[in-house]
């Protein structure tokens, strides 16, 4: 678990990498935009976009926007995006 978190913090473990990719915004009103790309029948496409931002009313919002066809498994609480390599 991170020691310092302003509004948001991300950590990512990537196969073949020794260190974790981690970070967060420097400012107290800062946010994060994350894009995950995935092959789709040979093409590279944005599969998922995550936007984290501080709202004017003091709330924090985290929006998850799937960009490719997806299935939501409500029972398991997962979102799955399936494409062909």
The answer to whether the predicted template modeling score (pTM) of the entire model surpasses 0.85 is no
Q: If you average pLDDT over residues 10-36, what whole number do you get?
A: 92
In angstroms, the CA 23 to CA 12 distance is: 9
Q: What is the pLDDT of residue 9?
A: 92
How are the residues of the chain apportioned to helix, strand and coil, as percentages rounded to the nearest 5? 0, 50, 50
Q: What is the pLDDT of residue 1?
A: 66
- pLDDT digit string, tens, across residues 32-84: 999 999 999 999 999 999 999 999 898 999 999 999 989 988 889 999 999 99
In angstroms, the CA 42 to CA 79 distance is: 22
Quick check: helix, strand or coil at residue 45?
strand
Virtual torsion, Cα 39, 22, 1, 36, nearest 10 deg: -20
Q: What is the pLDDT of residue 69?
A: 85
- Residues, the chain, total? 85
């Amino acid at each position: 678990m991170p020691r310092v978190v302003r509004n948001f913090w991300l950590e990512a473990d990537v196969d073949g990498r020794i260190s974790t990719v981690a970070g967060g915004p420097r400012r107290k009103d800062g946010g994060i935009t994350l894009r995950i790309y995935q092959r789709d029948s040979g093409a590279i496409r944005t599969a998922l976009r995550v936007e984290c931002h501080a709202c004017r009313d003091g709330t924090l919002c985290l929006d998850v926007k799937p960009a490719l066809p997806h299935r939501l498994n409500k029972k398991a609480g997962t979102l799955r995006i399936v494409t062909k390599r």
